[in-house]
Structure 1
Amino acid sequence: MDIFDRYAPFIQDYIYSHDWHSLRAVQNAAGDAIFHTDKNVLLCASTASGKTEAAFFPILTLLEENPPASVGVLYIAPLKALINDQYERLTEICEESDIVVTRWHGDAPATAKRKLLKKPRGILQITPESLEALMLRKHMEIPSLFHDLRFIVIDELHAFLRQDRGGQTFCLIERLCQEAGCDPRRIGLSATIGDTKMAADFLNVGSLRGSIIPKFDGGKEVWRLSMEHFYNQAPQAGEGEAEEEVHALEAPSDKAPFASDPGMGYIFEHTRGKKCLIFTNSREECESVCQNLRQYCEANHEPDRFLIHHGNLSSSYRESAEEEMKDENSFMSICATATLELGIDIGKLERAFQIDAPFTVSSFLQRMGRTGRRGAPSEMLFVMREDHPEARALLPESIPWYLIQGIALIQLYIEERFVEPPMRNKIPYSLLYHQTMSTLASLGEMSAGELASRVLTLSIFHNVSQDDYRILLRHLLSIDHINRTENGGLIVGIAGERVVNNYKFFAVFVENLEYTVHAGSEVLGTIVKPPPIGDKIAIAGRVWVVEEVDHHRHEVYCNLVKGNIPAYFGDVPGDIHTRILEKMYDVLSEDKTYPYLMNQAIYRLKEARHTFDNADIVQHPLVNIGGKMWVLFPWLGSYSFLAMERFLKIKCRTRLHLKGLNSLRPYYIMFTMDADEETFFTILEEEAQKDFDPLDLLYEKEVPVFEKYDQYLPDELVRKGFAYGVLDIEGMKKRIHNWANHQPL
């Protein structure tokens, strides 16, 4: 039977009303998997391919045919903005049916939530944090809300694969199913999955259903891609030499106007008359770029045509920017971070810019996929910026790392279809604390055995021993986060209540202490470390002078002024996979051209390859740069690089007489030593072959707090979690073994 014929009449009417002439391949494949099996389904298809409709058309059909007696579909998404966007789409699809769609997050209307509690039905859309709050504050309502739950749809599944937030999400799914007595199917949606088998296993955590990954022809990906390099001051790479013919992106190739920042001038010119996204890798950079581009508008006597969007801005600022971008007649461009990386529909975008290289292939693909909707090819312009190396700059400082990283990200996907896999080796003690406190707060007094049976049996904690859990519980008793009752049961203690009752408890990702910024009646957003009164701050793409700081209420009051200053929103660590560093080695060592490179990028790559070749880094990852000074290029990702640093400092320092070790993670390590190259690698191999405990790579009395709730853990678990779950010692040892045996990467 044709999948279209199987759809409910209101779905067929929706398709007719939107002038669809046929179903897409992903919709036929998803319909077949959802209609004809009872398994979990992982649906992988490119951005704007119709995944949402592919999943929901058959799901809504099944709900229409056999209405559930509670909420029938739980839709989990990583962003409130994505929920709001999908709410509009799903509400339109369900308009001619009796299926109700309800949003449940901090900015959603309370009246709709109350209606759902009185009469549970339809689709509930929620973030992991709001689901945590629902489980804790409304735990008595869970059975009535979800006892007949049929489907859990997890949108942007890739966003949950490499962090504690994903572990939290699947803990909540298991707890919900246990408390409600339901066994829903899971539907995972993503545009950027590399190893689908590993992702399907992740989707299946705690489920006995098994999973199916529908196969279909997704069509040919068409990209319009370019990458240009800019020094922040003249001259530019290759300036004065004959230009080579470039067949990169068919975009304007005129020179950027003369300006103090040629990269910003290039973006300013190539956004004119177009609706664009300008991606940055941090909120600070996002603010700086928006300030700069608005100053270009002012200097050119043009209307401001730049908006801003990042996680520290108020919801009113973000939503206003989203609405402005949805206007088909608007030619505004928006400076953004990862907040617009996921699948929010902000209309037909003509072009995306990426300033410097993102940390992951997944992020590159998501950002690339924001353009090219509605039949047009995806289009992205990379803008790589750096200062000229100083005349006395050391060898590694003369390599344009972001340019090489950007090429590596693109080539990894083009050549190997590589996307970062799920992170599976972490020992999630921070999450263990969080789920222990959440379970105890929601269910009340429990014996230690009952608590362990509820928490330790959650699949994400399969590598946590009962001994570790006993150590945790004893520690929580000692710091008053849990108390023992007269009956011998466990309850949340007074100190624990202060943590659990704070709204920030629902999130497991690290947050900075933030101050809300006010300008008159407007809430601009939040900052960390507010400056003294009279100083200036940067937020919402503008500069403000601080008039008042209320440290008790964590509020800042300010007025708008002119100027340009850096913003600060807290530290954001990057996590780069080893395959990216290995590909960067390939890019520097091979004599290969890339069709998307523009002229200045071509010349800068030539210079970098010349430097790389002259230093003979291809054959020698350890290079002498004068006297006793050496530089090591490990070509390792963030966590194996971190292990290498510690291994050198702790295991090899004495034998090699290492001093002054200094790193630019994850690219290189510089140090002085008395040994020669051969001795260096011999000693590394000898030390790596010894049977040492990963805890040996921690300093005495070091407690490396890494995750949000590590501060409440006993020191021995923090140390163990970092040594065994964060440091990639196996990756480090493999690289050392390859060096010792003169094997390629």
Structure 2
Amino acid sequence: MTGIDRLHPSVVHHIVNTLGWPSLRPLQEMAIEPLTDGADALLLAPTAGGKTEAAVFPILTAMIENGWRGLSVLYVCPLRALLNNLHPRVDAYARWVGRDAGLWHGDTTQTQRRRMRVERPDILLTTPESIESLLVSSLVNPCEFFADVRTVIVDEVHAFAGDDRGWHLLAVLERLGRLAGRPLQRIGLSATVGNPEQLLGWLQGAGAANRPAVVLAGTSPATAPAAEVGLDYVGSMPNAATVISALHQGEKRLVFCETRSQVEALALALRGKSVTTFVSHSSLSAQERHEAEKAFAEARDCVIVSTSTLELGIDVGDLDRVIQIDAPRTVASFLQRLGRTGRRAGSSRNTLFLATRRDALLRAAGLLSLWRDGFVEPVQAPPSPRHISAQQLLALCLQEGRVGENVWREWWGDLPIFDDTASEVARWLVETGHLEHDGGMLFIGPEAERQYGRRNFMELLAVFTAAPQFVVLYGRHEVGAADPLMLMRKTEGPRVLALGGRAWRVTHVDWNRHRCYVEPSDLPARSLWQGALPPESYELSQAQRSVLLGKTPDVELSQRAEKALGTLRQESSHQVWESGTVIERRDDELCWWTWAGGRGNATLAAALEHVVEADERPENHCLRLRAEIGRKEFRTALDEVMAGELPPPVIAEEAVRGLKFAEALPPDLAASTLAARLSDEPAARQIGSAALRWSSPQ
């Protein structure tokens, strides 16, 4: 019996006759038996590799064969746009067997929500935040609404696992399992990751050892189709626009940038060259993004410029080219972007890197070297999610009304959001008035009402913090959002913003209501947003060091890129040494070229605080030492710290304030939570134990 024979006959009929598929893909075949039998699984395939069908077809079969009724399947995604894109397809599959799929997220109308509360869909496509809102809503009885849930499909699971939304998702799933009275089957969908077994174990949550689990991969990196990857050095954003406008005319091109400001600058430059250009990033209104993505999907000779918002599996039509401005911070991110191409028969996967700065050229070369070596970053859940444990305890009290002070931990089993500080966190919540305590029961207190009670506790339901922004309005049409810095910085003449790839002159700012009114303009425009890029990893920093030492990625290099890399190697020869690290004295500064990555350097800086410059903010590649430190003194200090336990990085007070729910933790726990996330002890020890060379005599 083949895998497809296990599928329900109605599903097989529609695969053959409705979809017109002569056969299933390997991953889809492999997934049928374990998923139909109820195993947890991680399904791995490139973008557009058929992961959704590999999960949904067996689950529809299990739904019919086992007589599941009511809301039995949750399909969870990290992005609303991805949910919107998937919903028609999943609903169509469900209707093959007489079932249906609903859609519930922040943009779902009240009418649609009322209808689903009365008549639950069989499959609900949603986000973790929307599940949380349903659990605590006064309009929903969660015991009834989620009583029939049996399976959870988590799309783009790697995007969840890498930050606190993943811990929040797992905590919510444990509460759902308790309400449903059964362990929930968990199915993760992902592109290539470096540690699939560990990622699946993480997704299984509490009690993972008691449930069968399997990793299934449709295409490994070794057997993936060949890719055309090139690297060019263009030196500036206007030059990048010139190259893009001249290359591949008549084709559909998706251009990724690392910041919203880059997106807006490039989009304006492309439109100035009469290139049909669309824009997508998180500060555009949902309507603006949707219209751009829809127009791009239907157009041919055009460019869409995006941040990572289009990195995940949203369908933007039949792409011809992917272009990367500068470089992403991870190989995994590059693989997601590369996987947007090569879907059409006869086409190949491709990405062209255009570096606008020399440091970006070096980062791109390092990243491509890692990729060619077969490296993909392991997905690591952030350590010590104590602030999520505080949020979950508050959310549980909202859900249940009152929770026993000795039994609340049972809701999450052995899920590691709670460590040996859990009792301390609970005491702090009571002491600060976030929770009230009476008769052995815990319930929401006045401080939680004050901090989070506005808009039905919406601030408590999301674990990420959005920077304060002003809504930008053209008449009644919402264009997007502007950072307050854009509106406060000094300007000569009219204030003109770039948003959505267009120039807008500010006509009025309503500071009290956080609204900015604009009109179209032909004047020069630019936009800025607050926020720093994440630190480079140890592996990426080391790969850049290798490039400076002579390693060249096996990709197509332009003559400009080759020349610029040659110049970089010549100018940076004093910063790298094949046998170890370099300490360079330049003027009145002493710089230790560690190439340890941002977290590795933060760890070294904390351990060597008496020899590192007092105001030093660790960079990715070097640490500034006190200028008066000599060779012997530094060597002694380094040997001493390497012989003992390395202290955690020092956390600034403003950084603690930036941690969501920091106020729900004792200050020392909030600081230690951030310190654990900024630390990379293995990298620090690797660098600290390496040989040292001083670039000039003392």
TM-score normalized with structure 2 length: 0.91
Check the 8 A contact 1:282/1:572 in 2, yes or no: no
**Correspondence for 2:364 among 379, 391, 406:** 406
**Correspondence for 1:334 among 304, 323, 333:** 304
Alignment CA distance shift 1:660-1:140 (3 Å): closer
Check the 8 A contact 1:357/1:384 in 2, yes or no: yes
Paired position in structure 1 for 2:449: 497
Check the 8 A contact 2:611/2:626 in 1, yes or no: no
Check the 8 A contact 1:33/1:214 in 2, yes or no: no
Opposite residue 571 of structure 1, the aligned amino acid is: G
Structure 2 residue 526 is matched with structure 1 residue 526: no
**Correspondence for 2:215 among 213, 216, 220:** 213
Q: Show structure 1 runs of 4+ deviating over 6 A.
A: 699-703
Paired position in structure 2 for 1:45: 45
SS at match of 1:94: helix
Using the alignment, how far apart are the partners of 1:702 and 1:277 within structure 2?
A: 37
Opposite residue 459 of structure 2, the aligned amino acid is: K
After TM superposition, list the pairs within 5 Å mapping 1:559-574 onto structure 2.
559-574=519-534
Structure 2 residue 381 is matched with structure 1 residue 428: no
Opposite residue 399 of structure 2, the aligned amino acid is: S
Residues 228-260 of structure 1: CA deviation (Å, up to 9, x unaligned): 00223xxxxxxxxxxxxxxxxxxxxxxxxxxx9
Paired position in structure 2 for 1:445: 402
Paired position in structure 2 for 1:626: 586
Check the 8 A contact 2:574/2:584 in 1, yes or no: no
Using the alignment, how far apart are the partners of 1:313 and 1:702 within structure 2?
A: 28
Paired position in structure 2 for 1:668: 622
Paired position in structure 2 for 1:385: 356
Check the 8 A contact 1:681/1:739 in 2, yes or no: no
Offset of residue 592 of structure 1? 4.0
SS at match of 1:722: helix
Residues 264-297 of structure 1: CA deviation (Å, up to 9, x unaligned): 2112222531111110111121111111211222
Paired position in structure 2 for 1:680: 634
Paired position in structure 2 for 1:510: 465
Offset of residue 740 of structure 1? 6.7
SS at match of 2:273: helix
Check the 8 A contact 2:545/2:576 in 1, yes or no: no
Alignment CA distance shift 1:701-1:531 (3 Å): closer
Alignment CA distance shift 1:550-1:416 (3 Å): same
**Correspondence for 1:416 among 374, 381, 393:** 374
Using the alignment, how far apart are the partners of 2:183 and 2:663 within structure 1?
A: 35
Using the alignment, how far apart are the partners of 1:160 and 1:518 within structure 2?
A: 32
Using the alignment, how far apart are the partners of 1:67 and 1:556 within structure 2?
A: 54
Paired position in structure 2 for 1:193: 193
Paired position in structure 2 for 1:281: 258
Opposite residue 416 of structure 1, the aligned amino acid is: G
Using the alignment, how far apart are the partners of 2:266 and 2:212 within structure 1?
A: 47
SS at match of 1:224: strand
**Correspondence for 1:325 among 296, 308, 312:** 296
SS at match of 2:186: strand
Paired position in structure 2 for 1:20: 21
SS at match of 1:231: coil
After TM superposition, list the pairs within 5 Å mapping 1:72-83 onto structure 2.
72-83=72-83
Paired position in structure 2 for 1:239: none
SS at match of 1:120: coil
Alignment CA distance shift 1:551-1:494 (3 Å): farther
Offset of residue 156 of structure 1? 0.4
Paired position in structure 2 for 1:257: none
Alignment CA distance shift 1:184-1:669 (3 Å): same
Opposite residue 548 of structure 1, the aligned amino acid is: H
Opposite residue 223 of structure 1, the aligned amino acid is: A
Check the 8 A contact 2:582/2:692 in 1, yes or no: no
Alignment CA distance shift 1:346-1:42 (3 Å): same
Alignment CA distance shift 1:31-1:575 (3 Å): farther
Alignment CA distance shift 1:628-1:555 (3 Å): closer
How many residues are matched?
680
Paired position in structure 2 for 1:243: none
Opposite residue 331 of structure 1, the aligned amino acid is: D
Check the 8 A contact 1:143/1:181 in 2, yes or no: no
Check the 8 A contact 1:139/1:442 in 2, yes or no: no
Opposite residue 317 of structure 2, the aligned amino acid is: G
**Correspondence for 1:718 among 656, 665, 670:** 670
**Correspondence for 2:437 among 484, 497, 519:** 484
Alignment CA distance shift 1:374-1:446 (3 Å): same
SS at match of 1:284: helix
Offset of residue 312 of structure 1? 1.2
After TM superposition, list the pairs within 5 Å mapping 1:530-609 onto structure 2.
531=487, 535-592=495-552, 594-609=554-569
Check the 8 A contact 1:324/1:330 in 2, yes or no: no
Residues 308-367 of structure 1: CA deviation (Å, up to 9, x unaligned): 11111111111111211221x532211101110100111101001111110111111111
Paired position in structure 2 for 1:296: 273
Using the alignment, how far apart are the partners of 2:391 and 2:170 within structure 1?
A: 13
Paired position in structure 2 for 1:311: 282
Alignment CA distance shift 1:608-1:720 (3 Å): same
Using the alignment, how far apart are the partners of 2:273 and 2:138 within structure 1?
A: 51
After TM superposition, list the pairs within 5 Å mapping 1:697-716 onto structure 2.
697-698=649-650, 704-716=656-668
Offset of residue 138 of structure 1? 5.3
Alignment CA distance shift 1:345-1:662 (3 Å): closer
**Correspondence for 1:461 among 411, 417, 426:** 417
SS at match of 1:480: coil
Opposite residue 395 of structure 2, the aligned amino acid is: S
Opposite residue 332 of structure 1, the aligned amino acid is: C
Structure 2 unmatched ranges of 5 or more: none
Offset of residue 212 of structure 1? 0.6
Using the alignment, how far apart are the partners of 2:118 and 2:615 within structure 1?
A: 66
Alignment CA distance shift 1:632-1:661 (3 Å): same
SS at match of 1:379: strand
Residues 188-234 of structure 1: CA deviation (Å, up to 9, x unaligned): 100131111111111222143131112555543221111100223xx
Using the alignment, how far apart are the partners of 1:620 and 1:660 within structure 2?
A: 26
Offset of residue 547 of structure 1? 2.2
SS at match of 2:225: coil
Paired position in structure 2 for 1:173: 173
Paired position in structure 2 for 1:32: 33
Using the alignment, how far apart are the partners of 1:706 and 1:660 within structure 2?
A: 20
Cα RMSD over matched residues?
A: 2.6
Structure 2 residue 344 is matched with structure 1 residue 374: yes
Alignment CA distance shift 1:215-1:619 (3 Å): closer
Residues 376-385 or 130-139, more deviating? 130-139
Opposite residue 623 of structure 1, the aligned amino acid is: I
Using the alignment, how far apart are the partners of 2:563 and 2:477 within structure 1?
A: 48
Using the alignment, how far apart are the partners of 1:140 and 1:262 within structure 2?
A: 55
SS at match of 1:213: strand
**Correspondence for 1:652 among 611, 615, 622:** 611
Offset of residue 589 of structure 1? 1.4
Using the alignment, how far apart are the partners of 1:177 and 1:645 within structure 2?
A: 44
Opposite residue 30 of structure 1, the aligned amino acid is: A
Using the alignment, how far apart are the partners of 2:577 and 2:632 within structure 1?
A: 15
Using the alignment, how far apart are the partners of 1:269 and 1:52 within structure 2?
A: 37
Paired position in structure 2 for 1:300: none
Using the alignment, how far apart are the partners of 2:526 and 2:540 within structure 1?
A: 30
Residues 535-588 of structure 1: CA deviation (Å, up to 9, x unaligned): 332221222222222233222211111233331233143143211112222222
Using the alignment, how far apart are the partners of 1:336 and 1:700 within structure 2?
A: 32
Percent same amino acid among aligned pairs? 26
SS at match of 2:224: coil
Offset of residue 86 of structure 1? 0.7
Opposite residue 420 of structure 1, the aligned amino acid is: P
SS at match of 2:611: helix
Opposite residue 200 of structure 1, the aligned amino acid is: L
Check the 8 A contact 1:519/1:557 in 2, yes or no: yes
Check the 8 A contact 2:470/2:515 in 1, yes or no: yes
